[in-house]
Amino acid sequence: MRSTEKIDALAEQLHQNVRNSGEYLTPLERFNSVHIYNSVPDRLLAWAFYREYPRYLVNYTVKDIETDHLKECESLLAGLVEFGYDTVWTNVDVYSVIPEVWGCPISMHEDAVSVPVGAVIKRPEDLEQLRPIDPYNDGRLSVVLNSIALLREKIGDIYPVLGHCTGPVSLASILRGGSKFVVDVKKRPEFVARLLDFCADQIITFAKAQLDLGATGVHMADAAGSPSMVSPQQYEEVFMPAYMKIQKALGHLTPSGARWHSQSGFETLDDLEEFLEKSLIAGNNIIHVSTPWSLKLDIVAIQNLCRKYGAVLWFGIDPASFANLTPEQLELQVKEYIEKYAKDFEGYFQIGPNMLNDTSKPELVKAYMEAMRKYGKCPVG
Amino acid sequence: MENYDFEKLIQAVVDGESEDALELVEDALKRGVSAYEIIDMGLVEGMKIVSDRYDRKQYFVPDLAASAEAMTDALEQLKPLLEVQKEKSKGTVVIGVVQECSQEIGKNIVAAMLSGAGFKVYDLGINVTPRQFVDKAREVMADIVGMGSPMLQTVKYFAETEQLLKQEGLREKIKLLVGGAATNRSTPEKTGTDAWAVDGNEAVKVAESLMEQLRGVQ
């Protein structure tokens, strides 16, 4: 069977599965209920961050799905059929595809996600040599766009199709080199402001193209943009303008807007709530916490902030749970989290593996979804 | 050399001024100060102030990185003079950021601080595979392999490196020190590694303690 025929068969299977699920809402309606209306859905939104994980179901390598949109779509759809979570994301190697356009060296692997391994801005003046991206013609950006268009065509009526883009700080950090970038923040703040502004423009261009092709929203991953990387003043004065520019440009283009999260590190901030409030004011609409260490945080205070700004708490379960627990233990863990944290916040909450990876056991991913169907019915409790 | 005043060099490290640090190192060498004195009384003293300010949240990662850069540049300048005194090394460390990761800020700071504290450091950079860690560790007869993972999904490579060391019969001779944004105190237990450090400052203390353990074994 050709790849396009397999995709058609998988999409048909997904339509059947949704029709026969016995659940009141489709995954898209569930997503909209939470992300557009902040209203209580029929069941908690099962958010699954899985990227390359389901490729084993269709026998592709990571490189295959990073370079061929048909293979990427087949892998993503096979994952949805097998596990039944509520969201689908494109762009496996979110940190590589844009830097690659300007010749940033990328290390590609058969069984690991590609990584940028060299900077292209050796001196600050090199920034002036970088031309704006053309998302329809440059490098592998079209792989991402073609995936979105195809997924939207095949399952866009029942599933949210999420675009994916690197955030401005990560992009700037890759282009300049991580260490040099962070030293620049101290020594050359004017250059960093110009670099971040340039990066924000490229992200807006790429995200707009994704939205034009039917992405329900665009998720921005910004691992290097953690507030723990810089001082609160630097975060506000140097990083925030880039985030606000992106949000201003994209927020009105889709009901659910552009979205990003601070990947890690904010758990350590003394003034956590103050930071999160600033981030929400800047337009962030997902706050991502991850177990086990986030359990020390005042989750209810964070949820109240989410409610105030119409944002959603992404409650990420430790990947180790999907590698080391028994299905029964995982079921109990999911039950406990739901009862403790989702009650009264169902319209501001999504829960799922923080990240599925090759150590995740398929039977545990299934156990998670079964627990979601069993304990995640809304209103909770 | 009599009563050399290290204050300006200390300040250059504290301010993260690489060019000033290089000039001051050159000046100190001309005045007969030894490379080890420059490190101990200038660079390390400067980094102590930086660490203290970081602990007290007066300094942040960009300050730390700028100071680490100044220190690394100065160490590079002193390297030819240090080679002849290799026997003074506190231990040999192979360090890198694991496969699939390109965030190396923390690793660079740790590498600079370990060098400054007297360890012989082999920095493998970013996107380092378990095989590369193990091969380099064998080649240089490392005491410690230091691995960083800024992302949760790549913490698994700590365990893979540990397994590979075991398979190659090197595990008992080499301690594994891990860190990075996606790790915490429970990471060693989960990954079969030996120790974790939150930052460069702690990494030095932990590395010294691991060396004590290794000497105990010998």
Residue B146 scores a pLDDT above 80: yes
pLDDT tens for residues B104-129? Answer: 777 887 888 888 788 889 999 888 99
For residue A114, give Cα distances in angstroms to A110, B159, B160. 9, 20, 18
CB contacts under 8 A, B 66-105 vs A, are 66, 69, 99-105
Q: How many residues does chain B have?
A: 218
The backbone torsions φ and ψ at residue B189, rounded to the nearest 5 degrees and listed phi first, read -65, -40
pLDDT at B35: 84
Report the DSSP pairing between strands B120-123 and B92-97. Answer: parallel
Topology of the domain comprising B1-88: 1.10.1240
Judging contacts by C-beta atoms under 8 Å, the chain A residues touching residue B100 are 109, 112-113, 115
CA atoms of A144 and A167, how far apart (whole Å): 16
CA atoms of A198 and A123, how far apart (whole Å): 16
Average the pLDDT over A131-136 and give the result: 97
Q: B33 CB near a chain A CB, below 8 Å?
A: no
> Is residue B61 within 8 Å of B67, Cβ to Cβ?
no
How many contacts, defined by CB atoms under 8 Å, are there between A and B?
Answer: 86
A305 CB-near residues (< 8 Å, 6+ apart): A273, A276, A277, A280, A287, A311
Chain-centroid distance, C-alpha B59: 19
CA atoms of A241 and A281, how far apart (whole Å): 12
Beta-carbon separation of B62 and A231 below 8 A: yes
Judging contacts by C-beta atoms under 8 Å, the chain A residues touching residue B157 are none
| Residue B58 CB coordination number (10 Å) | 11
CA atoms of A92 and A104, how far apart (whole Å): 17
Residue A172 scores a pLDDT above 80: yes
Place of tokens 């979601």: A372
Band of pLDDT at residue B218, cut at 50, 70 and 90: low
> Is residue A303 within 8 Å of A345, Cβ to Cβ?
yes
DSSP labels for chain B?
Answer: --S---HHHHHHHHHT-HHHHHHHHHHHHHTT--HHHIIIIIIHHHHHHHHHHHHTTSS-HHHHHHHHHHHHHHHHHHHHHHHTTGGG-S-EEEEEEBTT----HHHHHHHHHHHHTT-EEEE--SSB-HHHHHHHHHHHT-SEEEEE-SSGGGTHHHHHHHHHHHHTT-GGG-EEEEESTT--TTHHHHHT-SEE-SSHHHHHHHHHHHHHHHHHH-
Residue B217 scores a pLDDT above 70: no
Beta-carbon separation of A116 and B102 below 8 A: yes
pLDDT at A92: 79
Which of B95, B152, B163 best probes binding to A when mutated, by most A CB atoms within 10 angstroms?
B152
pLDDT tens for residues B156-185? Answer: 899 999 999 999 999 999 999 999 877 888
Which of A174, A230, A265 is facing B181, going by the closest CB pair?
A: A265
pLDDT at A264: 53
B3 CB-near residues (< 8 Å, 6+ apart): none
pLDDT tens for residues B5-40? Answer: 999 999 999 999 999 999 999 999 999 998 878 988
Judging contacts by C-beta atoms under 8 Å, the chain B residues touching residue A95 are 102
Residue B140 scores a pLDDT above 90: yes
What is the reported pTM? 0.85
Hey, which of A48-57, A338-347, B147-156 has the most confident mean pLDDT? A338-347
pLDDT tens for residues A226-266? Answer: 777 888 889 889 998 998 898 888 877 766 555 655 545 56
Judging contacts by C-beta atoms under 8 Å, the chain B residues touching residue A234 are 60, 62
Judging contacts by C-beta atoms under 8 Å, the chain B residues touching residue A66 are none
Judging contacts by C-beta atoms under 8 Å, the chain B residues touching residue A358 are 156
Beta-carbon separation of A117 and B126 below 8 A: yes
Average the pLDDT over B141-149 and give the result: 95
pLDDT tens for residues B92-106? Answer: 999 999 987 777 777
In the sheet where A312-317 sits, what is the strand order? A45-46, A349-353, A312-317, A286-290
The dihedral over CA atoms of A177, A182, A188, A193, expressed in degrees to the nearest 10, equals 80
Judging contacts by C-beta atoms under 8 Å, the chain B residues touching residue A292 are 186
Beta-carbon separation of B127 and A357 below 8 A: no
Q: How many residues does chain A have?
A: 381
CA atoms of A116 and A100, how far apart (whole Å): 8
Pick the CATH number of A5-376 from 1.20.120.450, 3.40.50.300, 3.40.1390.30, 3.20.20.210: 3.20.20.210
Q: Which residue of B has its CA nearest to A112?
A: B100
Closest to A94 in 3D by CA, of A220, A212, A211: A220
Q: A264 CB near a chain B CB, below 8 Å?
A: yes
pLDDT at A263: 47
Which of A116, A230, A359 is facing B61, going by the closest CB pair?
A: A230
Domain boundaries defined on chain A = 5-376
pLDDT at A34: 93
Q: Is A88 exposed, middle or buried (0-12, 13-18, 19+ CB in 10 A)?
A: buried
Which of B60, B101, B156 is facing A115, going by the closest CB pair?
A: B101
Q: Which residue of B has its CA nearest to A94?
A: B100
Hey, which of A222-231, A307-316, B47-56 has the most confident mean pLDDT? A307-316
Q: A110 CB near a chain B CB, below 8 Å?
A: no
Q: A354 CB near a chain B CB, below 8 Å?
A: yes
pLDDT at B87: 58
For residue B62, give Cα distances in angstroms to A101, A234, B41. 28, 10, 24
Specify the range with the lowest mean pLDDT, choosing from A66-70, A247-251, A278-282: A278-282
Angle at B32 between CA B28 and CA B37, to 5 degrees: 65
Q: What is the DSSP letter of A43?
A: B
Within chain A, where are the H helices?
A: 3-19, 27-35, 62-67, 69-83, 97-101, 141-155, 168-176, 178-187, 189-212, 232-234, 240-250, 272-281, 299-309, 321-324, 327-337, 362-375
Residue A94 scores a pLDDT above 50: yes
**ipTM computed for the complex:** 0.82
Which of B102, B151, B184 is facing A178, going by the closest CB pair?
A: B102
> Is residue A84 within 8 Å of A369, Cβ to Cβ?
yes
pLDDT at A213: 94
Q: Closest Cα of chain A to B106: distance in Å?
A: 9
pLDDT at A326: 97
The domain made up of B89-218 is a member of CATH 3.40.50.280: yes
Domain boundaries defined on chain B = 1-88, 89-218
B139 CB-near residues (< 8 Å, 6+ apart): none
CA atoms of B130 and B164, how far apart (whole Å): 7
A381 CB-near residues (< 8 Å, 6+ apart): A339, A343
Average the pLDDT over A41-51 and give the result: 89
Band of pLDDT at residue A2, cut at 50, 70 and 90: confident
- Token output for B22: 């290089």
Place of tokens 């960009």: B62
Q: What is the DSSP letter of A338?
A: I
Beta-carbon separation of B62 and A182 below 8 A: yes
pLDDT at B1: 56
Q: Closest Cα of chain B to A135: distance in Å?
A: 24
Residue A159 scores a pLDDT above 90: yes
Q: A352 CB near a chain B CB, below 8 Å?
A: no
Q: B202 CB near a chain A CB, below 8 Å?
A: no
| Residue A163 CB coordination number (10 Å) | 29
